Structure 1
Amino acid sequence: MLCELMEGRAFTNKELASAASVTPQTATAHLRMLQDAGLVVSEKRGRCVFHRLAGPEVAQALEQLAALAPRDSLHRAQKRKAGGLAQLRSCYDHLAGPLAVAMTESLQVRGLLRRDGGRFVAQDSAVWAGLGVTLAPDKGARPFARPCMDWTERRDHIAGPMGTQILNHGLEAGWLRRAGQNRELLLTTPGARAFHQMLGLPVADLPHVTQEA
């Protein structure tokens, strides 16, 4: 159920029970424990109660745990959800998978992004505007950009507000499209062209990246 909620949307008890292949009664008991642990919050809308992750910090912890877990078990969970492993996907509110990792590494190689402990520091460049990013200083304990370990690639991708801006811009510009009601994303031909022009990414050669017109 937590993997289902990693999409960032809210789901009903019945939907989460179906995703986890358990009865609604079992799902209710688990959701109550998850709420008590501060991992999930619930909101009543009309006659339905919707559940969602308590926040990005929970999603970050789940992604980090996924990077430590055996791949086979996570593959099975994703196959139940999307009919196969979604290699180009959203990780709560940012982009994940091979494309996200390649983008992060390209920005580092070009000197536009450098890791500083638990955060990324960005250098001024017109590239950021092209990616839909408005650079902002870090506020409080939450960095504007931070590394997030990608559990399929075992390398970092960009999370935090910067990662959210990149994902939202990619969807709004038509570079990326959601594949139904799950975390899987499709890379469009204009998107492949844009990432190649801005970052030199050989997107067509990346594994498990689906292109559509």
Structure 2
Amino acid sequence: MTLTPRLDILGAALADTSRARMLCELMDGRAYTNKELASAAGITPQTATAHLRRLEEAGLISAARSGRCLYHRIAGPEVAEALETLSALAPSDHLYRAQQRKGARLKMLEARSCYDHLAGRLGVGIAQALLASGDLLPDGAQYRAVPSERWAKLGVSLSGRAPLARPCLDWTERLPHVAGPIGREILTHGLTAGWLRRIRGERGLDVTPAGAAALRQILGLRWEGGQCCPA
């Protein structure tokens, strides 16, 4: 008997449009009910129940009850990063067509959460700025954080633990953004400080005027019209 990873189980779980849509909805790191995920996938709650059971059996999501509601979420950061990487390998012609529509501005492409860290143009822009400034250094399969005053301004504490950060391939930009504890702290601080605002009913994030000012002051980045570039 040959022992091999059961990729067939994962492949079968992913090989359904409704399940893929629910996984994408869960990729913002929050927990959702059966009814909310059914709405996102455009299916009935009864059908969603069967799909969610399939995803849980494959180890892609977990469920926890709170009061009368059962909440579903991505099983962990390693699952989220694997799904992001798979998304980067998938055909993206639909993204190009969507962006060519007159007046199109897709918030999810500009800034979004990838489980517990920032993604999209904003996430990639921040990663590139931290690498260019020397605050992050490539270190094998991870990033090594170099102590500086900039980290505290971004809400990141490097004291008392290993400064873990690692690249996560962004599926829309095809470039890495920052995952790991440092990526999580940057996103958390951005939301707490009011630099970022979740968009109701969407996975995208809004960058507030305060956030745009912070990006310029701390990282030397200009955020304008959904684009992130050196100031």
TM-score range with shorter-chain normalisation?
0.7 to 0.9
How many angstroms does 1:206 deviate by?
5.3
Amino acid at match of 1:25: Q
How many angstroms does 1:73 deviate by?
5.0
SS in structure 1 of the partner of residue 70 of structure 2: strand
How many angstroms does 1:205 deviate by?
6.5
Partner of 1:131: 154
Structure 2 length-normalised TM:
0.79
Which of 10, 15, 36 is the equivalent residue of 1:15?
36
**Unmatched tracts of structure 2, length 5 or more:** 1-21, 99-104
Question: What is the CA–CA distance in structure 2 between the aligned matches of 1:182 and 1:115, rounded to whole Å?
Answer: 33
Question: What is the CA–CA distance in structure 2 between the aligned matches of 1:13 and 1:75, rounded to whole Å?
Answer: 31
How many angstroms does 1:133 deviate by?
0.5
Partner of 2:189: 169
Asked if residue 86 in structure 1 is aligned to residue 108 in structure 2, the reply is yes
Deviation per residue, 1:38-97 (Å, 9 max, x gap): 1111122233221111111111111111111112457899xxxxx945121111111111
Asked if residue 38 in structure 1 is aligned to residue 55 in structure 2, the reply is no
- The alpha-carbon distance between structure 1 residues 14 and 74, as it changes in their structure 2 partners (threshold 3 A), is farther
Asked if residue 102 in structure 1 is aligned to residue 125 in structure 2, the reply is yes
Deviation per residue, 1:15-57 (Å, 9 max, x gap): 1111111222221111111111111111222332211111111
Question: What is the CA–CA distance in structure 2 between the aligned matches of 1:146 and 1:154, rounded to whole Å?
Answer: 15
Q: Percent identity?
A: 57
**Unmatched tracts of structure 1, length 5 or more:** 78-82
Structure 1 length-normalised TM:
0.86
Segment drifting more, 97-106 vs 125-134: 97-106
SS in structure 1 of the partner of residue 177 of structure 2: strand
SS in structure 2 of the partner of residue 86 of structure 1: helix
SS in structure 2 of the partner of residue 145 of structure 1: strand
Aligned residue-pair number: 200
Determine which structure has more spread, i.e. the larger CA radius of gyration: 2
Partner of 2:171: 151
- The alpha-carbon distance between structure 1 residues 9 and 205, as it changes in their structure 2 partners (threshold 3 A), is closer
Partner of 2:6: none
